[in-house]
Amino acid sequence: MRVDGRRVSLKDQMAELEHDEFTRRMSFRETEESLSIQQEDMEEAYQLTQDQIQAQMKKIREAEETYKQLDQEHLKDIEDQVKKSGIMPNQFCVFSITLA
């Protein structure tokens, strides 16, 4: 076989094939390692995101409970004021608004 106009020995051809195979395997190994690192990074980012979502959900549930409690207290205050005023809860107040 000739390469660039010179004859290449079988030994040189084998050495070149071995080198090419070694280079291919190293490239494959580097790719695997790189993908493995990327996968670990993505899994960590996913877990971090999940933790952040869970923390936000916990805050939302706590806020909902706080608002429910405040609403109950407010309704209790209204009920107490209605009882003090003597107005029956089923009575309605009608307001007349005149627009000019």
Q: What is the mean pLDDT of each run of 10 residues along the chain (100 residues)?
A: 67 92 95 96 96 97 96 90 74 56
Residue 58 lies in a domain: yes
CB 13 within 8 A of CB 21: no
For 58, the domain range is 2-84
Q: Could you give the C-alpha distances from 66 to 19, 61, 63, 93, 95, in angstroms and in order? A: 70, 9, 5, 31, 33
Distance, CA of 22 to CA of 15 (rounded, Å): 10
Residue 99 lies in a domain: no
Distance, CA of 75 to CA of 29 (rounded, Å): 68
For residue 17, what pLDDT is reported?
A: 94
Question: How many domains are contained in the chain?
Answer: 1
Residue 45 lies in a domain: yes
pTM for the model stands at 0.51
